[in-house]
Structure 1
Amino acid sequence: MTSRDVDRHLHVVHSAPPSSGVSAPTLVDLARVFDPARLLQARRLAGRTKRSVAEELHVSPTAVSQWESGVTAPRPDHMGRLADFLGVPVEFLTAGRPYARLEADAAHFRSLRSTPARERDKAIAFTEQVWELTFALEKRVQFPPVNLPGFTGGEVQHTDFPTEPQAAARALRERWGLGTGPIPQMVRLMEKHGIVATLVSFAGGATKSVDAFSTSRLPRPVVVLTPDRANDVYRHRFTAAHELGHLLLHADDAPGDPVREKEADKFAAEFLTPSSSIVPSLPPRMDLAALDVLSGEWGVSVDSLVYRCREVGSISESTYRRAFQRLNQLRQVGLFRPQPATAHPGEVPALLSRAFDVAEADGFTITELAREMHCSVRRVRMLLGYEDSRPALKPI
């Protein structure tokens, strides 16, 4: 499956309307249409507390709370200072555009307990913006339909689909016509079936604790993958399959439940390496060289295959522990080194960027997209995955 498989599902719907030529609104005008929810979103995106906002604007934290709850509205001069401090255009803080509010308990964070609340809030606000970008693009480009069993506009309801993880993985493979062989491109496969995925450093170093998360509570399922896991393509693929398991199995469950996390792992293992195919291929005794060959064929880590060996009883618990000790030793001398996801076509999300490419070919510009979302062009480029990886030139 190549990126063209996604392109075939993207069709122009219509072009953006031309600019109306209306003069820019004043701060007084914008204050009249202040949206409390947008202030909360902007604050979370910036990783700021209410107290820090209050100190910057020389108001009380209570005043900021009242702004966010809609009890009162900020003065026009406060609007401008809020926007400057939070790093958004002042129009961002106004009403009048679609907004899908996502609660923290509606997203499955893989590392929930080790992720500080402020970083989770930032990740949630980022996901809301990903949906908003998707909505803006879907007005102009027809996306692949969501093909996730039981999913309907932000809800997953199962009637006759398996809920046991391994059975669900086998059933989804059958539904998607995958057979029982290796999956060449895990992330592209999800995008082909209408799941929005993203892989950007939206929170600086905070993504190391955020790790990865997903939600099925938006009009399209969203999976957020982070660059910290993408430095190992096999770990990255397993993470994507793990989040797919959450989308399919745990739509209404509280995030962070260790039992649900283990279920998602079981789903991912069976989805990537079906037992009926992988078990007969496993060596009868521990053989890291043989497992390394299988690793390349199936796109999973040697670690995962060692776990599989223990799972089917071909190795003892002590052999299992020694295998990981040996793997750690080999990695310390430069063997079994991970490969980045960026070196593997189909493992870096492309649905959103290719959707914009299609819209752009029809005359839609990134400046118009930024204006519609009330964001900076730089922010929109980041959401699309167009991050500038060049090192910054420091002033002399």
Structure 2
Amino acid sequence: MTKTDDPQLFLLQPRASAAPGPEEVVNAFDPARLTQARRLAGMTKKELSDHLNVTPAAVGQYESGVSRPRPDVLMRLAELLGVPTAFFAAGRPHAPLDASATHFRKLRSMRVFQRDRAVAFASQVWELTHALERRVQLPLVDLPGFAGGEVATQTEDSIDPIGAARALRRHWGVGRGPIAHLVRLMESRGIVVAMLPFERNEAKRIDAFSTTRLPRPLVVLTPDRADDIYRYRFSAAHELGHLVLHGDTNPGDSQIEREADAFAAEFLTPRASIAPNLPSRVDFAVLARLQVEWGVSIHSLLYRCRELGLFSAPTASRAFQRLNAMRGQGMFADESIAGYPGERPVLLARAFGLATQHGTSLAELAAELAWPPDRIRELIGSGADRPKLHLVL
């Protein structure tokens, strides 16, 4: 597979912040922060009001800015939602992100509170990224058409998913062969990739999502996909397709999902390169070898064979049935990403590690963000295979 470079990080000057008291927070209360914290906690206004012994209308007024909670209510909100009281103060950078600016693969099957919780998580990923960028220089964003949260209007040629996948391969200089470390490649080009820390049942409903409406493009993957390295890589490539093709397109349309799938297939397995290696008849031994070589599932390779006319539709259908039967017998079992360090998001963890090596403490960063320290640990995860880092002297 093609070797990719590690993202390069450079140290900048750390900055300190101070936490206000409850009365000060009331005077500078930011309604959007309450909405964010409530959604992250997965609570409705009714559920929160029951715990506070106030009406749902009162919570609605807090969130709309019509009224402010008293200091004692504010402290209770902080306790219920698991944040410091300073979290609710205005004045910190906040990502104006909503579901209309985010591509969810399963938007129609998701419940509203799950979508809102995932969007709130994405906003916090950006906040952490922004705080780290005040200390560490992350890789510059290298995504065609992207500039500071906006994507230039696509031409007719550039919205062709196959053509766009080929063009991105050329732009990134990854050649025509297999891509060894897809997530590492994306991070090295300035794309923030994060793992959703929700329970698997909820994460399964969300699947994966992405947005270009932040100062850095963001892709969020889910732990249920991480159980299968090949589905996981395809999900990452699918979201990369959204970043390239659909920055100014409203999410949720089945056509744009198909376009992202077509982009992913071509980006991971370029037709000109994979076609000569695909079998002209169903041969699972050959497909198993290609699965490992190219980092895509046998299922995807069978679909590619059908797509390129190597198999008829009935032959492909029988092959899918045989594959499902063999998987039911324990063959071609799923492989976790745990054995593939290059596919685990590490950019934020490495940036945090570099910052802490040069004077920034976890407590300082938590105070600046007004988060509990465990929240930072949750978002950065545990980075593996740290690269050689460079300091700005």
TM range (shorter): over 0.9
> What corresponds to 1:390 in structure 2?
none
Aligned residues: 381
How far apart, in 2, do the equivalents of 1:248 and 1:123 lie? 21
Counting only pairs closer than 5 Å after superposition, residues 74-89 of structure 1 correspond to structure 2 as: 74-89=69-84
With over 3 angstroms needed to count, the CA separation of the structure-2 counterparts of 1:103 and 1:200, relative to structure 1, is: closer
**CA deviation after TM superposition for structure 1 residue 3, in Å:** 9.0
Give the partner amino acid of 1:359.
A
How far apart, in 2, do the equivalents of 1:76 and 1:159 lie? 50
Q: Which runs of 5+ in 2 are unaligned?
A: 384-393
Give the partner amino acid of 1:36.
P
Give the partner amino acid of 2:93.
P
> What corresponds to 2:55 in structure 1?
60
8 A contact 2:3–2:180 mirrored in 1: no
Are 2:305 and 1:318 aligned?
no
- Secondary structure at the residue paired with 1:135? helix
How far apart, in 2, do the equivalents of 1:41 and 1:244 lie? 26
- 1:82-111 deviation per Cα after TM superposition (whole angstroms, max 9, x unaligned): 111111111111112111110111110011
Q: Which has the higher contact order (CA 8 A, sep 6+)?
A: 2
- Secondary structure at the residue paired with 1:346? helix
How far apart, in 2, do the equivalents of 1:172 and 1:373 lie? 35
How far apart, in 2, do the equivalents of 1:244 and 1:312 lie? 23
8 A contact 1:3–1:346 mirrored in 2: no
- 1:155-189 deviation per Cα after TM superposition (whole angstroms, max 9, x unaligned): 11146671100000000000000111000000000
Counting only pairs closer than 5 Å after superposition, residues 1-396 of structure 1 correspond to structure 2 as: 5-6=6-7, 9-17=8-16, 25-158=20-153, 162-202=158-198, 205-386=201-382
How far apart, in 2, do the equivalents of 1:361 and 1:25 lie? 27
CA RMSD of aligned residues (A): 1.6
With over 3 angstroms needed to count, the CA separation of the structure-2 counterparts of 1:115 and 1:295, relative to structure 1, is: same
How far apart, in 2, do the equivalents of 1:159 and 1:26 lie? 48
- Secondary structure at the residue paired with 2:194? strand
How far apart, in 2, do the equivalents of 1:335 and 1:83 lie? 50
How far apart, in 1, do the equivalents of 2:266 and 2:200 lie? 33
How far apart, in 2, do the equivalents of 1:15 and 1:333 lie? 55
- Secondary structure at the residue paired with 2:343? coil
How far apart, in 1, do the equivalents of 2:130 and 2:352 lie? 12
8 A contact 2:165–2:264 mirrored in 1: yes
- 1:341-373 deviation per Cα after TM superposition (whole angstroms, max 9, x unaligned): 121121000000000111111111111111111
8 A contact 1:194–1:220 mirrored in 2: yes
How far apart, in 2, do the equivalents of 1:159 and 1:234 lie? 29
How far apart, in 1, do the equivalents of 2:367 and 2:161 lie? 43
- 1:119-151 deviation per Cα after TM superposition (whole angstroms, max 9, x unaligned): 110000000000000000000000000000000
How far apart, in 1, do the equivalents of 2:309 and 2:154 lie? 34
Q: Which runs of 5+ in 1 are unaligned?
A: 388-396
**CA deviation after TM superposition for structure 1 residue 258, in Å:** 0.6
- Secondary structure at the residue paired with 1:198? strand
8 A contact 2:197–2:379 mirrored in 1: no
8 A contact 2:193–2:219 mirrored in 1: yes
How far apart, in 1, do the equivalents of 2:205 and 2:196 lie? 14
**CA deviation after TM superposition for structure 1 residue 200, in Å:** 3.8
Identity, % of aligned pairs?
Answer: 55
- Secondary structure at the residue paired with 1:34? coil
- 1:238-265 deviation per Cα after TM superposition (whole angstroms, max 9, x unaligned): 0000000001101121212110000000
How far apart, in 1, do the equivalents of 2:332 and 2:373 lie? 41
How far apart, in 1, do the equivalents of 2:319 and 2:20 lie? 66
Q: Which moved more, 1:288-297 or 1:237-246?
A: 288-297
Give the partner amino acid of 2:375.
R
Give the partner amino acid of 2:287.
L
8 A contact 2:5–2:188 mirrored in 1: no
How far apart, in 2, do the equivalents of 1:238 and 1:25 lie? 45
How far apart, in 2, do the equivalents of 1:206 and 1:159 lie? 34
Q: Which moved more, 1:193-202 or 1:349-358?
A: 193-202
Give the partner amino acid of 1:175.
H
How far apart, in 2, do the equivalents of 1:347 and 1:31 lie? 43
How far apart, in 2, do the equivalents of 1:118 and 1:367 lie? 30
With over 3 angstroms needed to count, the CA separation of the structure-2 counterparts of 1:364 and 1:378, relative to structure 1, is: same
**CA deviation after TM superposition for structure 1 residue 194, in Å:** 0.2
How far apart, in 2, do the equivalents of 1:11 and 1:89 lie? 30
